[in-house]
Structure 1
């Protein structure tokens, strides 16, 4: 994809922001229509179910792998040029940050991407949690929490100053990633049919995965055409949330792909909810929910920066190029989320049932 003609009309920064907005809009619209959510999928697994939410997440993940791996084989994208593959990865950051993020997204009732989508449709709970996530992410990137993040990330890192390609590590032949993605997508479709999920929802679940590939191709193509260095990246919400926050609060108004991404998601999700008449103001129902959401947002903000990305950035975007630390972070997010639901939400639900039975008066028959 050649962006040279567009660079005659727009400077590199403005074009990058425009491409980010377009990628974000595709994600926002598709995520709102498909109800894509990693937390919901992990909760199903924690409760020994493999239901519609798991099918949607699995289809999104697998189609992201399919689209990205197909783009690599077609020469539209080179993963070695991506940021996630060209910098030192952190095994310890993936483990600790992934667990923190998994715990946080269950407490907050949504990962950072899901919170942004819900906030765009009028969910004030998600708006507050998303703002806290962005503040903590910025603190972990350049603020008071940055030394702690760097310390934990330095415990155990990948060799040779770059990340590890899982496919190359096991000596898999070319096209293995695409085949794995297709097989997984076929299973996800089979699961979705058994759970009677409509084809419209499946189409938009695949659209979320498509947005990941679009982001990779856009930034890679722009990097090939631009005179100034361009970071090759795709969908993620930890770094862009922190960058967008500082963009709005300071006089540093430098544009790039990340700055356009967040407004694009907001627009896409809002438009989807508007067209489907799902715009609705919602807030916290009680104080306990507020405390949970705020704590969850803090854990996700720090955890995402430590893990090298959020549920989308590491879990899908990094996973689509088979970055080893991204797959490890995703696994740890699942572990943290499943354990949190089992130990907190299911335990509380059982306690409520027992308490309800104890309060039920005994009647004589």
Structure 2
């Protein structure tokens, strides 16, 4: 409630201080819509659901101000041998895991039960992560990247998001068949070794990969690129390090408030299924949805992942308004349109096969101590390399 009042007070202050501009209108509209989504989430599922909206909004603001994406960071490792973005991701993972591992291990004893994302990983998940990696490079953004760039005013990413949703729901039509393929059993480092050793092992592996990127960068360029600087906490841009810290706070708050890691793409499948139902396609008869009938029948504001996604979009829109950078481009080339559609469909389909995207599967898996997160990283990065090569052939920036 305090956060809502502060947001409202700042909106009024901005309008009183100077004449209305397009950016102030964007900020005000996004802030008021965020308040509205909070109210609807509260009405649907209570205070925790409303808090989830605000956490999503905070994450969206951090993603936008830090330009914190996974897609460009992975691409720069391949094309430029620059690893700052990848190392920032590792910082985010370690900061989150430092809190999430003990919460997963001891939370129930303390009266605050928390669950992780620990899943088996097999042929279907490997294929899914690989085609997701291709799709994220063609589409121009990962799960979180798609949401925050949509909020930032990218019309191309609106197309990517629509295709992402379509690919997600299409995958649910035959996911039960994919799941029959061979898979390794679920394996949790936290359960097997405890939170301390699990964190140490995670830190060592990420540290070694990070050191390898530093070696590669120095070998190619003679030095490591200087870190980006934060110019303004309110208006941005932020350094990647500050972005990692803020997103770690959002991830930890998600564990505390929601009881699980941050996820994104399961909501896309739900939105697509509801749209299919609206036009008469009986998705409720598909095996994937037979055990989620209540989600299809109830308000989307009952779904925590959905309201957090709404928050991410609106938080990024608030950040774009604060930065004075909300400026949609209304014309798209045929190449941009086609790659957005193909990339979005690949990401949507791949995410369903592989338990999620870069947030739910990669980040969510690693901060849960799950081996499937490491395997997702391996196959997702391999797909990203292929996608990067395709981008170069298509002369995409």
Distance apart, 1:165 and its partner CA: 0.9
Distance apart, 1:33 and its partner CA: 1.2
Instruction: Tell me if structure 2 keeps the 8 A contact 1:90–1:154.
Output: no
In structure 2, the CA distance between the partners of 1:300 and 1:152, relative to structure 1 (3 Å rule), is same
1:177 aligns with 2:198: yes
> Aligned to 2:385, what secondary structure does the other structure show?
helix
Instruction: Tell me if structure 1 keeps the 8 A contact 2:100–2:368.
Output: yes
1:99 paired residue number: 130
1:42 paired residue number: 74
1:252 paired residue number: 298
* Aligned partner (choices 221, 231, 236) of residue 263 of structure 2: 236
* Aligned partner (choices 192, 199, 212) of residue 251 of structure 2: 212
1:155 aligns with 2:176: no
1:290 aligns with 2:337: yes
* Aligned partner (choices 113, 123, 128) of residue 154 of structure 2: 123
Distance apart, 1:265 and its partner CA: 0.8
Distance apart, 1:138 and its partner CA: 2.2
1:358 paired residue number: none
Q: Deviations over 1:49-78 (max 9, x none)?
A: 124333333332332323322544663799
Distance apart, 1:300 and its partner CA: 0.4
Aligned pairs for 1:302-313 (under 5 A) are 302-313=349-360
1:359 paired residue number: none
Distance apart, 1:274 and its partner CA: 1.2
Distance apart, 1:28 and its partner CA: 0.6
TM-score by length of 2: 0.70
> Aligned to 2:358, what secondary structure does the other structure show?
coil
Instruction: Tell me if structure 2 keeps the 8 A contact 1:72–1:78.
Output: no
1:136 aligns with 2:182: no
In structure 2, the CA distance between the partners of 1:42 and 1:79, relative to structure 1 (3 Å rule), is farther
In structure 2, the CA distance between the partners of 1:257 and 1:14, relative to structure 1 (3 Å rule), is same
TM-score by length of 1: 0.76
Distance apart, 1:327 and its partner CA: 2.1
Instruction: Tell me if structure 1 keeps the 8 A contact 2:104–2:114.
Output: no
* Aligned partner (choices 117, 130, 133) of residue 84 of structure 1: 117
Whole-angstrom distance in 2 between the partners of 1:79 and 1:94: 31
Instruction: Tell me if structure 2 keeps the 8 A contact 1:117–1:265.
Output: yes
Question: Structure 2 unaligned runs (5+)?
Answer: 1-41, 218-223, 231-237, 279-295
Q: Deviations over 1:309-334 (max 9, x none)?
A: 11111011122112222321222110
2:309 paired residue number: 262
Whole-angstrom distance in 2 between the partners of 1:155 and 1:37: 32
Distance apart, 1:281 and its partner CA: 0.5
Instruction: Tell me if structure 2 keeps the 8 A contact 1:30–1:208.
Output: yes
1:25 aligns with 2:52: no
> Aligned to 2:183, what secondary structure does the other structure show?
coil
Distance apart, 1:252 and its partner CA: 3.1
Whole-angstrom distance in 1 between the partners of 2:54 and 2:179: 32
Whole-angstrom distance in 1 between the partners of 2:112 and 2:343: 32
Distance apart, 1:100 and its partner CA: 0.8
In structure 2, the CA distance between the partners of 1:186 and 1:216, relative to structure 1 (3 Å rule), is farther
Instruction: Tell me if structure 2 keeps the 8 A contact 1:102–1:333.
Output: yes
Please give the root-mean-square deviation of Cα atoms over the aligned residues, in Å: 3.4
Whole-angstrom distance in 2 between the partners of 1:309 and 1:197: 30
Distance apart, 1:297 and its partner CA: 0.4
Whole-angstrom distance in 2 between the partners of 1:341 and 1:78: 46
